[in-house]
Structure 1
């Protein structure tokens, strides 16, 4: 079964809290519920305890999906990471999540507005050799805890490009699943259709956002930062950019889980309710056309 969820980043940003900072949690949740969203990922305005989080979402007829967790496995081993993750794990499991969304954030630049993407970290072979078994072991510990680890490839981080995604998947064990993000894949130079086909059996979560090619070209030509690119509109809702969603979905006919709208934009330029409504309608149409709904 596929359910369509959303990330509150469509309303207000976590990396740069001024973006949509004036939008209340209640506005976000009421609009998401009215649109037909069934579940939400975590945002900085959400309650900080599992019971309060579940209760708040239930007020609007929604459930908790999961939330981002930053790993630092280039700096510490899996056991140390697991110890550091206890609070995040408890919140997610206690609030009803089934997956833990992780991204390796050692030296990341995606949250630094002044840092151009050309300065993003690239792992050495020695770092890959340390990182891959640590990620596998961390995922195994998380699985024993009762959650499925899904890895979020992301612009500005050590796993951004298609070769890096391939190396991650080839070098980690089955406890590591892929969070396929169509927007980050496309902007990072990967083909989301190829990724879906190649890793269909290991895709454990799905983030749906689209890419405006003209803004991406300007970002790359001028070496913008991730956040400046977002503010200029590099991302948009599914169906409003270049991603061929029907072809992506046709490659994962057995996928069961969440498809999460996670298209961060400046709400002053792109009204969140209007744009998420459009993305929701487009996703439903694409999923039906691909035979997944």
Structure 2
């Protein structure tokens, strides 16, 4: 147990993605700008849905949970990266590293399942509108949301337990701007092959299963939309579904590219860029996609902004 205590109390060096050259300083400023937009956008979305009673429906409740997950996701990595860059200190303790890994993995997993639940919600709303309140009641919506958080947290606990059980020797430099599992494993002097296989299986469950739910749901939705006689109903259905599909494409595309490739195909620079995309850029785009493509959200946002209740 001595080496485990030593590992837990040890520190790593986050090399980050920026140095203090003029170009990288400008890029760092850009990242802070994106973080600010993402933070304010997701916080505003959560607050907007909470304040406007007309948005107290399963669809918007799920959207508020997506914004909350994105808000927590960007706060898991960017503030620490900014602190390290501005202070010049790149070290992070194993406890801090484990905290980042837990929240990062948990939020990614929870969001995977939540996007599937959101697809099911759209399927019920469009294909079974008369039975919507029964098939997607408030109680069921809350239970499904709690299940998403619980499944994501379970994955985070499993991954964190494995990471803390490894011993780390030699280089302590993590080629990343936060403690990502893929960047930390090469530093271990323990055989991690079994864990990597387990992680791949988890990715299959947490990515493929929700994707299948989304594909089945939207194939049924597409059939229903094609059969709609009203052009206005068809336009509204397409607008709602296209917003969700845009988010799904951004999120799952980057996540599958990151975690469903063989470890031998990973490079530090490639992993860092892909991680930056879905941990910083995607959380900024999600509220913009939903607010710009959704009339109810736009109308509620303008109303509350005029009243001075938002931000």
In which range does the TM-score fall when normalised by the shorter chain? under 0.3
Structure number with the higher strand fraction is 1
Q: TM (normalized to structure 1)?
A: 0.27
Q: TM (normalized to structure 2)?
A: 0.26
Structure number with greater Rg is 2
Structure number with the higher helix fraction is 2
